[in-house]
């Protein structure tokens, strides 16, 4: 009997948690006319059981709001990675959002628009990657611009409804991993108005080669970056280049390069140096009075 009560209590708490997560549909420009969407948004699992989201046609935010007694006024938009073909929705999205909400941060997981794929998005991505990175980047260019626009739209939306979400208009940041790091990096470097400018940004092992890094933005914001020395895509070099650029301009930036951890470590614990990035991120947030 006692076991049954515990199970029912756990189930009830799960339902409450799910009900607290709001799904918000974003109006984002440019529109998607002319894109050949093969199928609607869906999920698939990797061999290791990791859940992925594919074929995002309409961008959304899923809100993970903290207990009002814990809320500190900071908002963080989270852009998972996946080569613009899928989203690592838990490891680089929901798990970080839960971490944020527990610490008083209002988190918003962004499902940005993706390359249309068929039944096996991972297989399609790997096949393209084995041919040519440059060719794949050219093919993805229109979708990448849509994803960047979705990141800016997310910032603008959260700022417009800051009062509703109990966040401060000047404490809205964005974090992104890999392709999501493109979205976060573009938000920092390519924002177009004060409404879609983030107050801080955290590109994590970001694909910055498809972001315009040629000039500093008019109002550079604090940046936090983390990557590994054994990143298979060589994104550590892109991170050091952006660090040098920001540092030369005397803009606030913090970069952590871990010896091991590979690409895509996210919130996973691997008993590798990269496991420490989230503690470093927390310390950085605290130092800026965002945590």
- List the CATH number of the domain containing 123: 3.40.50.1820
Range of the domain at 122: 37-287
Please check whether residue 6 lies inside any domain of the structure.
no
The whole-number average pLDDT for the span 47-69 is 93
Please check whether residue 142 lies inside any domain of the structure.
yes
pLDDT tens digit sequence for 84-136: 999 999 999 999 999 999 999 999 999 999 999 988 888 999 999 888 888 99
Q: How many separate domains does the chain show?
A: 1
Backbone angles phi, psi at 23, to 5 degrees: -105, 125
Please check whether residue 101 lies inside any domain of the structure.
yes
Report pLDDT for 11: 35
What is the pTM (predicted TM-score) of this model? 0.91
pLDDT tens digit sequence for 231-277: 999 999 999 999 999 999 999 999 999 999 999 999 999 999 999 99
Please check whether residue 86 lies inside any domain of the structure.
yes
Please check whether residue 23 lies inside any domain of the structure.
no
How far apart, in whole angstroms, are the C-alpha atoms of residue 176 and residue 208?
A: 11
Instruction: Tell me whether strands 106-111 and 86-87 are parallel, antiparallel or unpaired.
Output: unpaired
pLDDT mean across residues, the chain:
90
**How far is residue 127 from each of residues 51, 135, 205, 275, measured CA to CA in Å?**
20, 12, 22, 30
Please check whether residue 133 lies inside any domain of the structure.
yes
Please check whether residue 8 lies inside any domain of the structure.
no
Please check whether residue 214 lies inside any domain of the structure.
yes
Report pLDDT for 37: 62
């Amino acid at each position: 009997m006692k076991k049954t009560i515990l199970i029912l209590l756990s189930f009830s708490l799960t339902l409450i948690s799910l009900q607290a997560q709001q799904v918000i549909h974003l109006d984002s420009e440019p529109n998607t006319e002319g894109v050949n969407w093969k199928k609607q948004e869906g999920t698939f699992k990797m061999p290791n059981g990791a859940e992925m989201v594919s074929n995002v046609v309409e961008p959304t935010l899923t809100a993970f709001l903290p207990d009002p007694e814990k809320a500190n006024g900071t908002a963080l938009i989270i852009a998972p990675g996946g080569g613009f073909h899928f989203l690592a929705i838990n490891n680089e999205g929901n798990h970080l959002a839960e971490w944020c909400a527990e610490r008083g941060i209002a988190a918003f997981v962004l499902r940005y628009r993706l390359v249309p794929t068929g039944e096996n998005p991972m297989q399609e991505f790997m096949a393209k990657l084995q041919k040519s990175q440059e060719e794949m980047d050219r093919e993805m260019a229109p979708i990448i611009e849509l994803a960047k626009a979705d990141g800016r739209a997310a910032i603008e939306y959260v700022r417009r409804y800051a009062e509703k979400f109990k966040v401060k208009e000047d404490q809205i940041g964005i974090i992104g991993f890999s392709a999501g790091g493109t979205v976060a990096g573009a938000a920092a470097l390519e924002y177009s108005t004060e409404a879609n400018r983030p107050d801080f940004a955290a590109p994590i092992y970001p694909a910055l080669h498809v972001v315009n890094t040629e000039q500093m933005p008019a109002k550079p914001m604090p940046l936090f970056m983390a990557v590994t020395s054994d990143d298979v895509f060589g994104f550590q070099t892109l991170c050091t280049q952006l660090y040098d650029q920001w540092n030369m301009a005397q803009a606030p930036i913090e970069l952590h390069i871990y010896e091991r951890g590979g690409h895509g470590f996210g919130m996973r614990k691997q008993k590798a140096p990269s496991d420490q990035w989230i503690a470093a991120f927390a310390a950085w947030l605290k130092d800026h009075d965002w945590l």
